[in-house]
Amino acid sequence: MNRKNYRFLVLNNDLKVLLINDHDLSRCGAALKVEVGSANEPSDIPGLAHFLEHMLFFGSQKYTSPNLFFDFVGKN
């Protein structure tokens, strides 16, 4: 029996989120799709997309070291 629940929502910053709850699984996961890259960056700032990629996962005010975000997801 497939016991998945789906919920779609849009956050205050317009980020679209799809939550999938599968009662048959004992683990969780997270995925992020950012539909921009080096082809979208200004020509006078090469490497901006790569820099922002690092900002997503390698430290922020809340997750100050590279593994804190992944540790949080793994524990929750």
Helix (DSSP H) and strand (DSSP E) numbers for the chain: 2, 2
pLDDT at 44: 93
Instruction: Flag whether 22 is in a domain.
Output: no
41 is catalytic: no
pLDDT digit string, tens, across residues 11-67: 898 888 888 888 888 877 777 777 778 888 888 999 888 887 777 666 667 767 767
String of DSSP letters for 13-61: T--EEEEEEETT-S-----------GGGS-TTSTTHHHHHHHHHHS--S
Which is catalytic among the residues 53, 57, 63, 65? 53
Instruction: Flag whether 69 is in a domain.
Output: yes
Instruction: Flag whether 14 is in a domain.
Output: no
pTM score, two decimals?
0.46
Instruction: Flag whether 10 is in a domain.
Output: no
Domain that holds residue 67: 39-76
